[in-house]
Every structure is written in C-alpha cells, then in structure tokens.
Structure 1
Amino acid sequence: MSDDAGSPSKPSAEKGQGDHSAGISRAVLADEEGVPVRPGKRLTLGHIADELGISTATVSLALRDSPLVAEDTRLKVKETADRVGYIYNRSAASLRTSRSQIIGVAVHDILNPYFAEVFSALEDVMEEQGQMIFICNHRDDVNRQRAFLKTLLQHRADGLILCPSVGTTTEEINRLIDQGLPTTLVAREVKGVWAPCVRGDDMTGSYRMTRHVLALGHKRIGMIGGRRSSSTGRDRHAGWLKALQEAGIDPEQQLDLPELMTQADGRGAVRAVLALEQRPTALVAFNDLVALGLMTGLRRVGIEPGPEMAITGYDDIEGVDSRTPALTTVRNHAGKIGRLAALTLLRQIAGERVPNSPILIEPELRIRESAPAKGVRLAPQISE
C-alpha cells in the first residue's frame, strides 16, 4: 500500500534490519520529502510488528509483559513503541480479555496520613500485578462516591477497594457485586454486604486505650470525635463507653463530642473543653489528627498537653512519635491493612471465593509522653 493512501510502507530490504528508526519513523510520520502523512493516523500493533518482523500477537503479549515472550523481544518491542509514540489501547484489550487492569480505590480522606499509608501499601501490591489504580476522595459524600462507582463500571474495572462513605447502603454494594465487580471493603464495615472487609479492631483498640488512661488515675475522660454513623466511629466510641462503665464511671457525665475528624476540628473542640465547670483531666481522641489539633489548641490557651491534660490519639500516623509531647496512640497497622485488602481483592479477581466475614487486624498501644498520670511530666518542658 502506498504512502498516498495514508498507510505506512514497510522498510525496504536494502535498509536492512538495523535501520529500524529510518523505517517506521519515516513511514509513519512523513514521506521522503518530510511532508506529514495523514496527520492523526493512529499507530497500530501491526506497524510495530512489521518494523520488527514479528507477529502482532507477539507485540501484544510483549506490551503486556507476558512471560511467553522472550525478554530481549519484549525490550525491542517496548523500545520501538516508545520511539514511535505507540500507546497501548487498554479499552480494546479489555474487550478481548474481559480484563481492564483497572482497580478503583475510594476513601473519605486521602489527605489523612493514615489513608495515604493504606493507599501506598495497596498500590505497591497492585503495581506488582500490573494493575492501574483510579482513586476517589469521596469526602463522605455518598453521591460523589456513587458517581465514581458508576464510572468504574463504565470502564469495566477489574475490582474495587472501598472505604464506604457515610450513607452507603448494603443494597448498593451488593448490587455492584451482583454486576460482577469484585469488591473489598477497607477500614469501615457495612453489615450484610457480600464482600470481605479488612480493618482494625477499633472497639478493642479504644477500649484498651481508655483502660490505660483509667489505670493512670484519670476519672474525667472525654471522648473527642468520630462519625458515629460509620462503623469506625461507633466502635471506637463503644470501646470508650465499655471501659468507663466497667470502671463504674457514668459516660453521661463525661464530655462526648461526635463528628470531629481533622486537626482543625480538634483545635475548635478546645472551646467546649474550657467551657466545662469540671474539665476533663484526659481526652481520648478519635484519631491522631484530632489529638494533634487538641494539643495545639490547648497550648495556645496556656494548658500544657500531658502534665495539665492527658491526650491520646488513634492510628499512629507518621511523625506523632516526634512531637513534644510524643503522642500516646493506638497503632492501627495501615500498611498491613492496605496489603491485605489488595491481596484479598486479587484473590476475588482470580475467581477465588473469599468469605464475607471481617478480617480484623489486632491494634497495639503506643505509650508515649502525651498521656501521663495526672500532674506528671514525661516530656521536656517547652521554654517560653
């Protein structure tokens, strides 16, 4: 076929096997006088196959890193594709294989370092398997989440890892699974779904932390934060309640501020703490971000976190051990949760039946300086 027809010609025999650059580049991009040939003409696997003298099937396998193709051939195919600007058509491939190599990941706060660590761990696992990740920060907006899930179905995604938004129903997750989308929940559980959930044992972690604070002699212990309509918020609140009740302390007489999630929320909560006639001597925060906000807000009004008011967090995000005072918190194993969620989803994609029961990760207390016994200083005093 001639260049006038807009199709690239094969390199002539006189050019030899070594002159690949002159062959495909000139044929695809310009004629002998440098005039572009049909701008916008899409490169195909056939162009690369003709250039290298191999079949289009071999080119396709090489671009997908198939072990069926010799390594030197894979390298030649990829080098040629890069040189001529060929982009592998995943949409077409997914129609042939029923696999798109796309995984959706949706969480409510990607800015939270805890979820950044979960995402990093699961991304490492998925990358090893050649999967591409689409991520959604739904911000606990269920409509935003639903739009993302619809897009995943439209793109024939291979699977979904979901930290469900507040307001997510059992029915809508089960509908996704019924439509053939393998799904694994992470961090938050929704009762009755046909999908596994990988999460920390939030009730146990909160219960153990509150028991620890009680053992230090504190009797007025406030609970700050947590969306109680999520399983995480409910479970951490339930752990606090259980520990207080076992100690004979009425939770109704303690400060309890729901719905707070961020450092800004923690700073803002200090006003409610100061307004009480009998202030708490210890505050159990829903997560590390709220705890860090509380510490900053208290220090601004002249109350020293630790000796003057004990503070605990939850998650053990990066950097909390280097604060002054270092934060006492619950290690929630973000990396382990991320890896297990990815591996669990890959098992489902491979066709394995995975039990729908929660996969609980054991929490660990990290005892540091921010929650001593009443009036005790564990951290160095910050000079004025």
Structure 2
Amino acid sequence: MTNDTGAGKPADSSSDGKETSNWPDGEPDFPKPGKRLTLGHIADQLGISTATVSLALRDSPLVADETRERVKKTAEEVGYIYNRSAASLRTARSQIVGVAVHDILNPYFAEIFSSLEDVLEEQGQMIFICNHRDDVKRQRAFINTLLQHRADGLILCPSVGTTAEEINRLVGQGIPVTLMCREVSGVWAPSIHGDDLAGSYAVTKHLISQGHSKIAMVGGRRGSSAGRDRNAGWRKALIDAGLDPDAQLDIPEMMTQADGRKVVPDILQARERPTAVMCFNDLVALGMMPVFRRMDVEPGPDIAITGYDDVDGAASRTPALTSVCNHPDKIGRLAALTLLRQIAGERVPHRPILIEPELRIRESSPPHGVRLGPRLVE
C-alpha cells in the first residue's frame, strides 16, 4: 500500500477529498528519505538561525520563551532528535553525569538518588546509572562507557577493590569525580558520607546503656570504608564500656534482607548467645526480625535489634526499628552540588565531608525482657 500523503508530510483530508496542509507557510522542506533532519531544516522552516534553534533546544535563557516554544513544537512535529554527541563536540559538554552505587535496590540509595537527581536535572544534566554490585570490573566497564560518551563527571560510591590510582587517573584527565557514602584513601577527589564511626558508636552505646553486654555486630563489607568504620565504632563503644569486642559475635559481609534471614541460626546457636544485635544496615535487621519471630524469639524483649540508615518503613515495623539516620537527602544533594562546582571549573578540596548522623531510638532495642511495642497476634 502506498502512502498518498508523501513521506514525512503531515496532511489532513478535507470533506471534498482534497488534502490540506497543517503547515501555514506551505509544506516544510524535509530531507529525502535516508538523510537526517538537522538544525538547519528547523531554522529554514522558522526563518531563524541554527544557533537560535540550538539554544532553544537546550532551554537557553538567551532565547525568548515564544521562540523557544515554536522551535520545540516544530522539532517535535518533524521528528527531530537533538544530537547530543555533536553538541558535546562543539561545547565540550555532554550534559551527562554518571552515578554508580553498589546496591540500587537498597531504599537508602534510592533516597540519595532522588535527592541528587533533583539537583542535577535543575542544571540540565542527564543521569546514567550503574549498579556495580561491588564488582570492581563492572564499575570499570561503566566508567569506560562514560568516557566514551564524554560524560561531564562521575558520582561514585566506590566498589570494594577500587584503588586511589584509578580514581586519580580520571581526575588527572580532567574528569570531575565526587565520591559518596564510601571513601578511598589517597584520592584527589572530595567524598561525601555520614560519620559512620560516630553513628555506630552511638547506637552501640545505647545498647550498652540498656544493660546489654553481649552485643553482636552483623554485616558490613570490611573492604569498604563504611564497613570498617561502623565496625570500629562498635568496637570502640564496647572497649570504652570495659567490654572485649573480640569476645563478641562479629559476622561480616552481610548486606541484604536475604543475608539477615540466613544469619539468624548462627546467632541463636552461638556459644555466647547475644542479647542484642547491631546490624550494619536496616536491610539486615529487617530480614532478621520475622525469622527470629518464627523461631519463637521475639525481637525487642528476647533480643534487641538495631539497624542503620533509617530507611522508609523502619519506623512502621513491629517493633519499630531503632536505627541511625544517615541523612541521604543531604548526602545526595551535597554530592551533586560538589560535582557541579567541579564541572564549572571550580577547584574543590579533596577531603572527606562528613554528615553528622542521628540516632533514632524506637521499640526494637529495650533492656532484655522488656516489651516496648505491641505483641503481634499470631
């Protein structure tokens, strides 16, 4: 079947069977099939310069609102797609920023991403996301892809195994880099994260104040700064209270709800069974709680449990989970603003910027044998 309207020519059928054009100034001069639409086609159609068309498509304030809307409407009608790669060659900017984290399924990172996305999108930046899963090879492949697309910068929660040399190589090439949530010693880039040592110290001290002396720590990749610092805070609080951390149950590497479910038998079968568990994050804690309950050990009265990050929903569990708020909104916003400063050419000190954590005490961490929350009806 042939197309009687002609390729790419919008038309309406009038009541007498004749076709009438939607274009007030006659048919636009479209390129022949197989040729790309260019800025010049839109410029010729509207009688303006290609520079004005380019500025309008990039929402430049130098173009009047009415002209900008005419350009965008025409581009949409003719099916023009802005060539970002060609524009980046002209401006040395791609308006692309890469964001890489190790667990995009963790609600904590979703909150961080939402905050930094708001800031970056305000500045017209498109975001490429990588869930590297703590696989340094996967992270490196993503960074190489960003370089091929001439990305303006990178916000990175570095994978375990990331070296200072590879980050410094990027910085040395002029690529703006900001680390978040974790730091790598010796990098020439700023890092934004919560004070993990202070947060874990505070929550462990809280458990000690509730009368607990057998306090397990579960989780945290000790090859990451967050894993090391939260473990160090737990150890310091125990030592300051005259307790030996090496006599406590310490189970590393647990990171997810599945890990939390899996580790419960190990806790209950420990030679010195703990009366409290400080979890590396909320996911591990939330994974544990229903399994403890199924094994007739009630979270709260029978075993105190604390989390970390205070994700959405932690306060609405039964019992409500004691956790450490790490202010993901502040971390995401500050990471984005710090990167934008670098993209603009500003020199930013390469040092950690620590966000003060906030302990939020709830029902899950009472003294042993004390119930603060309601009993669940079986």
In which range does the TM-score fall when normalised by the shorter chain?
A: over 0.9
Cα distance in 2 between the residues matched to 1:115 and 1:181: 23
Report the Cα offset of residue 154 of structure 1.
Answer: 0.9
* Equivalence for 1:149: 143
Q: How does 1:275-294 map to 2 (within 5 A)?
A: 275-294=269-288
CA deviation string 1:323-351 (max 9, x = no partner): 10110000000011000000000000001
* Equivalence for 1:90: 84
TM-aligned CA distance change 1:354 to 1:374, over 3 Å: same
* Equivalence for 1:19: 23
Selected match of 1:52 from 46, 52, 67: 46
Counterpart check, 1:321 vs 2:325: no
Report the Cα offset of residue 253 of structure 1.
Answer: 1.0
Counterpart check, 1:61 vs 2:55: yes
Counterpart check, 1:341 vs 2:311: no
* Equivalence for 2:191: 197
Checking the alignment, whether the CA contact within 8 Å between 2:39 and 2:50 is kept in structure 1 is yes
* Equivalence for 1:226: 220
TM-aligned CA distance change 1:342 to 1:20, over 3 Å: farther
One-letter amino acid of the counterpart of residue 313, structure 1: G
Checking the alignment, whether the CA contact within 8 Å between 1:23 and 1:51 is kept in structure 2 is no
The secondary structure found in structure 2 opposite 1:171 is helix
Checking the alignment, whether the CA contact within 8 Å between 2:277 and 2:304 is kept in structure 1 is yes
Counterpart check, 1:73 vs 2:63: no
TM-score by length of 1: 0.92
Report the Cα offset of residue 39 of structure 1.
Answer: 2.4
* Equivalence for 1:119: 113
* Equivalence for 1:352: 346
Q: How does 1:200-215 map to 2 (within 5 A)?
A: 200-215=194-209
One-letter amino acid of the counterpart of residue 23, structure 2: D
The secondary structure found in structure 1 opposite 2:273 is coil
Cα distance in 2 between the residues matched to 1:235 and 1:314: 13
Cα distance in 1 between the residues matched to 2:295 and 2:48: 74
The secondary structure found in structure 1 opposite 2:27 is helix
Report the Cα offset of residue 254 of structure 1.
Answer: 0.6
Checking the alignment, whether the CA contact within 8 Å between 1:20 and 1:51 is kept in structure 2 is no
Q: How does 1:100-111 map to 2 (within 5 A)?
A: 100-111=94-105
Cα distance in 1 between the residues matched to 2:23 and 2:249: 77
Cα distance in 2 between the residues matched to 1:180 and 1:157: 11
The secondary structure found in structure 1 opposite 2:277 is strand
5+ long unaligned stretches in structure 2 = 1-6, 10-21
Counterpart check, 1:379 vs 2:377: no
TM-aligned CA distance change 1:20 to 1:341, over 3 Å: farther
Counterpart check, 1:255 vs 2:249: yes
Report the Cα offset of residue 322 of structure 1.
Answer: 0.5
TM-aligned CA distance change 1:45 to 1:77, over 3 Å: same
The percent of aligned pairs where both chains have the same amino acid is 71
Cα distance in 2 between the residues matched to 1:253 and 1:166: 27
Checking the alignment, whether the CA contact within 8 Å between 2:8 and 2:78 is kept in structure 1 is no
Report the Cα offset of residue 179 of structure 1.
Answer: 1.1
The secondary structure found in structure 2 opposite 1:23 is coil
Report the Cα offset of residue 300 of structure 1.
Answer: 1.5
Report the Cα offset of residue 373 of structure 1.
Answer: 1.1
One-letter amino acid of the counterpart of residue 372, structure 2: L
Q: How does 1:20-35 map to 2 (within 5 A)?
A: 20=24, 22-24=26-28, 27-28=29-30
Cα distance in 1 between the residues matched to 2:192 and 2:271: 42
Counterpart check, 1:298 vs 2:302: no
* Equivalence for 1:274: 268
* Equivalence for 1:43: 37
Cα distance in 1 between the residues matched to 2:160 and 2:247: 28
Cα distance in 1 between the residues matched to 2:147 and 2:111: 26
Report the Cα offset of residue 22 of structure 1.
Answer: 4.8
Cα distance in 2 between the residues matched to 1:59 and 1:180: 30
One-letter amino acid of the counterpart of residue 56, structure 1: T
Cα distance in 1 between the residues matched to 2:261 and 2:24: 64
Cα distance in 1 between the residues matched to 2:144 and 2:219: 31
Cα distance in 1 between the residues matched to 2:175 and 2:270: 50
TM-score by length of 2: 0.93
Report the Cα offset of residue 21 of structure 1.
Answer: 7.9
Report the Cα offset of residue 277 of structure 1.
Answer: 3.1
Matched pairs, number: 362
Cα distance in 1 between the residues matched to 2:334 and 2:177: 13
